Each structure stands twice: as structure tokens, then as C-alpha cells.
């Protein structure tokens, strides 16, 4: 549950006084010196200093990771231990540059030293197991270009930069040709397996007969559902150029007989009927409130009585994953020029406004990447 907004004037005034006192204390250099020296407060002071340093240095860490991925360093080490010189020759960097990168990556647990050689570190190994993360990191060049002047981005209200061009439907709602949808569709397909695995573990899809995945991209989620639940008829509703990619994928996977493609835009075309389960996987947060609410209303109208909507996406104010919501996705979607991350509470309130009777949050294994809310017609 997200923290309730304080409205009681007495509680509000007490909290205001406490926060003012706390912040004066934390900002005082005398207190900082004392906290760092006293054995009782030293561990807290050190951990807070580390947290603050990470906040200051985060961009440099991200760029270290970007260099590891762009050079293929992590992939090279995936094959086993390598010396710095051997790596330097393979990744086309001078030995000094390679060593600098290796040492930076070791500090971030991306690699680690093993005698005279280097191997993957724990974070590097986990990252290699998730192809989607490397693709996400690779496309962050666009995000960072837009964030080079974050104040200007905030002033102009978002969009208008590299990321808005990448997500074509943010700049030109409901549009996109084969060439413009390909990069984002590939990225979404690469990062889809983690989301699909969690959603499939969280919800029993076999209780339904026909499922429609709205904004289903090139069909990664539908293909995962098809592999898990043999009885379900499946469909994707996405922009025509993206729908074509899904069609090709289903044909290649032998799923053409079980799947339907509905090409169109949910901004201008009706939501197809005849499905007792509709899914929105990483779609709602892409859209501003008016569009998102109109979509939820259209889905409510298209579902039969007793039908269900399932929403799966990373959400704001997720306990333990707060920075991923309002900080990362908040600024990411601002740069993209459309949508915002919403908390589970906000989504459930929107669902009630759209006419849904009962809503529920389902537990997922890694809420930082995916939370699931279901709603009954």
C-alpha cells in the first residue's frame, strides 16, 4: 500500500515540525561529524554517506555498465576467464582503457578478478541471464541524451527529444510504419520473458476461454501464455505495423491456428469483443490519464459480464522499489512525452471510475519489474 496523504491538521502540523527538526539536524555539519565519529551512529552515517554518493555517481555507474555492454565485455567473459590483454584485443580498446573499465566494473560487481585473469561478477552473471536488460541499457543512450538538461525537459513538459522519436506512438498517437515500430517492438520482445513469467505465475489463465492482449506488441506475451495454457484462444490488438510482426512470429512458432491479430488503434477503433479476458501488459503507463481512462472504459464496455481485465506493469510507489517507479519511469515517460507511472492505488481508483466492480493486486515475484492488478466487469 502506498503511504496515505496526511490531511488531519494536527498530524500534519506535528509532522511538519518533526521534519523541520530532522532536516536541520541532518544538514548540520556538527551533527554529521558527530554521527561519523560516534561508534553507535557510525554504521548509519557510513551507510547514508554511501547512499548519497551512489545518488551523486549513479550516471557514472550506468555509463560503466553501458561501456561493458557496448564493447561486448560481459559476453566475452561469459565464455570463461580472460586476461586483460586478451580482452583488450577482442573488445578493441587499448590495454589501459580495458583495465580502467575492468576495475570500474569490478567495483560494481559486474566482473571480478581471478588471479591474473578476469571473470564475470555476480551482477554481470545475473545481467547476462537477462537479454532484455542489455537491450534496455543499449537504448538508454537516447534517454540520457534527453536528460542531459533535465530542467529544460521538465520546463517544456516532456517529449520532443530522442526517446519520443524512438517510441513513435508517443509523438504520433496511433501511428507507426514497419520501419519505425521495429526497434521498440524488438526491445519489448527482448524484455518480455521476465514480465510474462511473473504474470503467468501470478494468475491462473486456464480459467478463461479467449484472451485479448491489447498493445500486445509482436506477441511475446501471447506466445508465453500459449506455451503454458493449451486451452486458450489468443489474440493481439496493436497498431497495424506491429500486428504484422506478431503475425510473422505466430506463423513461425506454429501458433497461427490459435491466434488472431486485430490491427488498429485503441484511440480510434473499438476494442474487439468476444474475449472473457483482456490484458494490458506494460501499456497503461505509456498513456496520459485521459487516454488511459478512455481505454479502461472501452475495455469495460467490450468485456462480457463476469469478464476480467488484467494489468501487468511496473508501478509507482512499489514498496522496496520506489526509485524504479516515480524516479526512473517518471522521468523516462516524461522524456518519451506520454504517460506516467501510476501506483497500484491510482490504477485501482481509475478502474473503479471506468466501471469495474472489484479490483485486486496479485503478488508477483519481482514487483520492481512487474505488478499485476485484476479487475472484474
Ligand X SMILES: C[S@@+](CC[C@H](N)C(=O)[O-])C[C@H]1O[C@@H](n2cnc3c(N)ncnc32)[C@H](O)[C@@H]1O
Shortest Cβ contact with ligand X: which residue?
215
Considering only the stretches 200-208, 227-235, 236-244, 342-350, report the one whose residues sit in contact with ligand X under the rule CB under 6 A: 236-244
Q: How far is the CB of 229 from ligand X (least distance, A)?
A: 18
Q: Does residue 135 touch ligand X according to CB under 6 A?
A: no
Alpha-carbon distance 175 to 263, whole Å? 11
Q: How far is the CB of 181 from ligand X (least distance, A)?
A: 6
What SS3 state is found at 28? Answer: coil
Per-residue interface string for the shown chain with ligand X, residues 189-228, x marking contact by CB under 6 A? ---x--x-------------------xxx--xx-------
Per-residue interface string for the shown chain with ligand X, residues 160-189, x marking contact by CB under 6 A? ---------x----x-------------x-
Residues 6+ apart with CB under 8 A from 163: 142, 143, 146, 170, 332, 335, 336, 337
What part of residues 276-295 is at the interface with ligand X (CB under 6 A)? 281-283, 286
Residue number with CB closer to ligand X (74 or 283): 283
Among 239, 302, 350, 351, contact with ligand X (rule: CB under 6 A): 239
Alpha-carbon distance 312 to 209, whole Å? 19
Cβ atoms < 10 Å from Cβ of 154: 11
Q: How far is the CB of 286 from ligand X (least distance, A)?
A: 5
- The b/e string for 7-39 (b: 16+ C-beta within 10 A; e otherwise) is eeeeeeeeeeeeeeeeeeeeeeeeeeeebeeee
Alpha-carbon distance 201 to 224, whole Å? 11
Q: Is 285 a catalytic residue?
A: yes
What part of residues 334-373 is at the interface with ligand X (CB under 6 A)? none
Residue number with CB closer to ligand X (160 or 264): 264
Secondary-structure breakdown of the chain: helix, strand, coil percentages, each rounded to the nearest 5: 60, 15, 30
Alpha-carbon distance 159 to 3, whole Å? 30
What nine digits make up the cell of 354?
Answer: 471506468
Binding site for ligand X (CB under 6 A): 169, 174, 188, 192, 195, 215-217, 220-221, 238-239, 242, 265-267, 281-283, 286
Instruction: Give me the active site residues, please.
Output: 285
Amino acid at each position: 500500500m502506498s503511504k496515505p496523504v496526511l490531511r488531519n491538521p494536527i498530524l500534519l502540523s506535528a509532522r511538519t515540525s518533526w521534519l523541520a527538526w530532522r532536516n536541520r539536524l541532518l544538514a548540520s555539519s556538527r551533527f554529521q561529524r558527530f554521527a561519523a565519529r560516534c561508534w553507535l551512529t557510525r554504521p548509519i552515517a557510513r551507510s547514508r554517506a554511501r547512499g548519497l554518493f551512489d545518488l551523486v555517481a549513479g550516471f557514472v555507474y550506468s555509463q560503466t555498465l553501458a561501456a561493458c555492454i557496448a564493447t561486448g565485455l560481459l559476453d566475452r567473459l561469459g565464455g570463461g576467464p580472460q586476461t586483460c590483454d586478451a580482452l583488450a584485443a577482442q573488445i578493441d580498446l587499448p590495454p589501459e582503457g580495458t583495465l580502467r573499465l575492468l576495475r570500474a566494473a569490478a567495483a560494481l560487481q559486474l566482473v571480478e578478478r581471478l588471479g591474473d585473469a578476469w571473470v564475470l561478477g555476480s551482477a554481470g552473471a545475473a545481467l547476462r541471464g537477462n537479454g532484455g536488460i542489455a537491450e534496455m541499457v543499449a537504448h538508454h543512450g537516447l534517454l540520457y541524451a534527453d536528460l542531459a538538461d533535465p530542467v529544460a525537459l521538465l520546463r517544456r513538459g516532456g517529449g520532443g527529444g530522442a526517446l519520443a522519436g524512438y517510441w513513435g506512438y508517443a509523438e504520433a498517437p496511433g501511428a507507426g510504419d514497419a520501419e519505425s515500430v521495429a526497434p521498440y517492438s524488438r526491445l519489448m520482445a527482448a524484455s518480455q520473458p521476465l514480465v510474462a513469467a511473473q504474470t503467468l505465475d501470478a494468475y491462473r489463465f486456464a480459467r478463461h476461454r479467449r484472451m485479448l492482449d491489447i498493445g500486445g506488441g509482436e506477441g511475446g506475451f501471447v506466445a508465453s501464455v500459449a506455451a503454458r495454457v493449451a486451452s486458450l484462444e489468443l489474440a493481439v490488438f496493436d497498431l497495424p505495423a506491429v500486428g504484422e510482426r506478431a503475425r510473422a512470429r505466430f506463423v513461425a512458432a506454429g501458433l497461427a491456428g490459435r491466434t488472431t491479430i486485430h490491427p488498429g488503434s485503441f484511440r480510434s477503433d473499438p476494442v474487439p469483443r468476444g474475449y472473457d479476458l483482456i490484458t494490458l501488459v506494460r501499456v497503461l503507463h505509456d498513456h496520459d490519464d485521459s487516454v488511459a481512462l478512455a481505454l479502461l472504459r472501452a475495455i469495460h464496455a467490450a468485456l462480457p459480464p463476469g469478464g476480467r481485465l488484467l494489468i501487468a506493469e511496473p508501478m509507482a510507489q512499489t514498496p522496496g522499489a520506489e526509485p524504479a517507479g516515480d524516479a526512473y519511469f517518471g522521468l523516462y515517460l516524461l522524456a518519451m512525452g506520454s504517460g506516467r507511472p501510476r501506483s497500484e492505488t491510482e490504477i485501482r481508483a481509475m478502474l473503479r471510475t471506468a466501471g469495474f466492480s472489484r479490483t485486486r493486486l496479485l503478488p508477483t515475484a519481482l514487483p520492481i519489474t512487474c505488478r499485476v492488478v485484476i479487475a472484474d466487469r
